A and B are shown apart, each in its own frame.
Chain A
């Protein structure tokens, strides 16, 4: 049975080259290119033989990172290669132990595993200082590779369990976003500490060697430098980790094979009792709509993506300050968040998709709809704009400019909201449908999307330009402009906001069925 699975995987591997000539050539070029990189990496690892103390730090660290990468990979690339998903074998009545072993061995035959095997083979050279060290290195390399693949298979089984429920899909989509968004600032911060790299490395390397993902890689290093007892201990610990993972993987396979449908089905939609937010907002038409939208913010990943993105984005302004010591960019944190929050409401209605008919059927009044739709966003703005304004002024060391910063922020938010009130009923464009991934771009409507986004952002900038101009004067040390910036910002922002609600409300009253017709077409 194991042989069958391995043969299946080999067939799948061979089929990479059988699609079309162009794809085959592309695949070969890719394999040659990455193959060369892999061989270079293996040689680099092997040359560490000449500096064993360094090797003892870097190899376990690299190995530990490798295992972690294999564990994370199935989360990011989930669903791209489901050919060896245990649930697919449910109908074949294969004993689960054999299936579990076979799937891991088949996993070793994938291109990523082969690449890793080549790099790991480099460590055999690194540790070949004595017979005992070489033997331990051989065991460690094999066990390390198996640990990678087994962990990856187990995580992917867990992920497929989670993904088979709606909640799981939502959570995974959001986790993916956080990873992607967090990467930028994370790397920038890591880069800024690069000068301390040299001094931290020894500690990091030593610690990594004593973590469960590092034991197996550190064992031959200990033996190579003569600490045979420590080495054997870590070898046993590392093999124990592999055995534990193997058991977990076996159990996951058993669960999926014996009960493929129950997986992830139970336990959904618990914990919503009574009216929730609908029972807590004011008992009016506006209150009801605001409560519905706030509830959606809690439950719909399409809103949550925005909710997570908005607070994180101003942090990017820290990058120039950390990297190059430029300090004026942080002053823009408040205005940026204000602009983003106001502007991002310009397509609010489209997110409801055709469920909008309920509002049309009920004859909802435009004014009520316009105001209610902004309530959750306003709450967000009231919290985040002051916080970022103050934090920006503080980091930038320019508390004297705070009134101007607040003025520009209020102007941008107010103008953005005002424009959004009108734009969301005049120019709705297609967005991912409820239940679709927040990252899909719906086909069609690219032109409408671009136009609406441009009008909303340029319009906000143009309408707020008097306040922006005053703020610039303040920045250029025309001190008289400080308080006029604050005052005009509040007046302009408030004024355009009120006007937007009125005009948008009127258009809504007249055009609601046309908006619905547009949403039905999308």
Chain B
């Protein structure tokens, strides 16, 4: 356990309303119900982990919350602004790192982050200054004049994170931010996110890695088959077990491996 997991839940903050409030949010793709009318509150100032098995609806939920995918039902509020009724204000408050979407990778790192700032209405001077600072903080200084298409997967994640941060959002929504990121970069990113939270920001991230969520998040929600199975502080959700054990309990499904005897070398 690192000290970050000991962060107290942001007491009293909830009075002013959650950072993200989701009510009855639903999305269906053809016959498949991806997200089944879920309710979810992300308290202000929390470090919120969204966990779930593959196909649980994590990316779909995060896309609907961030204004990238129009929900079929329900509402998503970001700091009291409805993402779909008042998108301009809600989007201003959000910084996002989507998973599986491309970026403008024929720009250099510096150009990409600056461009993200300019799109958000920063002046060129401010955007350039912040982009340079962010790239330095993320250790991309030497690569800032290289095209992003030539970056490694981890560097691409970092430059996308910089693009999400450049306009100074209040709420960060990150889909799989640590995937393909090396341990050193992961530590850097965790540090930046921890600073962001301690300065009053809110972070929502999705992950497959329970151990990581247990260590760095203050709150967690477990999502499976488009439903929220549990939500609360990490301690509440894991109820004395490790988060991974609790997760397997909640999501169900047998972890007993049947068959595959030929895989065991002792069988011959």
Could you tell me which A residues sit within 8 Å of B by CB distance?
166, 268-269, 272-276, 278-279, 283, 285, 288-289, 291-292, 295-296, 299-300, 352-355, 357-364, 433-435, 513-514, 516-517, 520
Contacts and interface: CB of A to CB of B under 8 A. Distances in A.
Contacts of A435: 149
Nearest to A365: B88
B118 A514 contact: no
B128 A275 contact: yes
A514 B115 CA distance: 23
Which of B67, B100, B116, B150 has the most chain A CB atoms closer than 10 A to its own CB? B67
B146 A283 contact: no
B116 A362 contact: yes
Interface string B106-148: 1110110011101111011000100000000000000001110
B119 A285 contact: yes
Contacts of B128: 275, 279
14 contacts: A268-B146, A274-B145, A285-B119, A354-B102, A359-B119, A361-B94, A362-B116, A363-B67, A364-B119, A434-B106, A434-B149, A435-B149, A516-B69, A517-B69
Interface of B: 66-70, 87-88, 91-92, 94, 96, 98, 100-108, 110-111, 114-116, 118-121, 123-124, 128, 145-147, 149-150, 163
B94 A269 contact: no
A227 B129 CA distance: 76
A295 B163 CA distance: 18
Contact of B67 (A285, A299, A355, A361): A361
A196 B115 CA distance: 57
Contacts of A520: 101
B119 A276 contact: no
A278 B145 contact: no
A270 B67 CA distance: 36
B102 A361 contact: no
Contacts of B105: 355, 434
A425 B155 CA distance: 32
A513 B150 contact: no
Given A272-B145, A363-B67, 6 more contacts: A268-B146, A285-B118, A292-B104, A362-B119, A363-B92, A517-B70
Nearest to A284: B118
A362 B91 contact: yes
Contacts of B98: 357, 361
Contact of A288 (B101, B118, B145, B150): B118
A299 B70 contact: no
A363 B87 contact: yes
A355 B102 contact: yes
A354 to B, nearest CB: 4
B123 A269 contact: no
B108 A292 contact: no
Contacts of A272: 108, 111, 145-147
A358 B67 contact: no
Contacts of A288: 115, 118-119
Contacts of B106: 295-296, 299-300, 434
Contacts of A274: 110, 145
B111 A275 contact: yes
Contacts of B102: 353-355, 433-434
A355 B149 contact: no
B87 A278 contact: no
A518 to B, nearest CB: 12
A361 B111 contact: no
Contact of B104 (A355, A360, A362, A516): A355
B54 to A, nearest CB: 17
Closest 9 CB pairs of A and B: A288-B118, A362-B119, A363-B91, A354-B101, A269-B146, A355-B102, A299-B106, A283-B124, A354-B102
A514 B63 CA distance: 12
Contacts of B103: 355, 358
Contacts of A358: 103-104, 115-116, 119, 163
Contacts of A362: 91, 116, 119-120
A279 B118 CA distance: 11
Contact of B68 (A276, A299, A353, A513): A513
Which of B68, B146, B149 has the most chain A CB atoms closer than 10 A to its own CB? B68
A359 B103 CA distance: 11
B163 A513 contact: no
Contacts of B147: 268-269, 272, 299
A275 B145 CA distance: 9
Contacts of B101: 354-355, 357, 520
Contacts of A352: 104
Nearest to A303: B106
Nearest to A520: B101
Contacts of A300: 106
A283 B123 contact: yes
Contacts of B123: 283
A361 B96 contact: yes
A477 B106 CA distance: 52
Which of B101, B110, B114, B150 has the most chain A CB atoms closer than 10 A to its own CB? B101
A324 B135 CA distance: 62
B66 A361 contact: yes
A206 B96 CA distance: 69
A279 B124 contact: yes
A285 B121 contact: yes
Nearest to A295: B107
A278 B114 contact: yes
B91 A361 contact: yes
Which of B70, B87, B106 has the most chain A CB atoms closer than 10 A to its own CB? B106
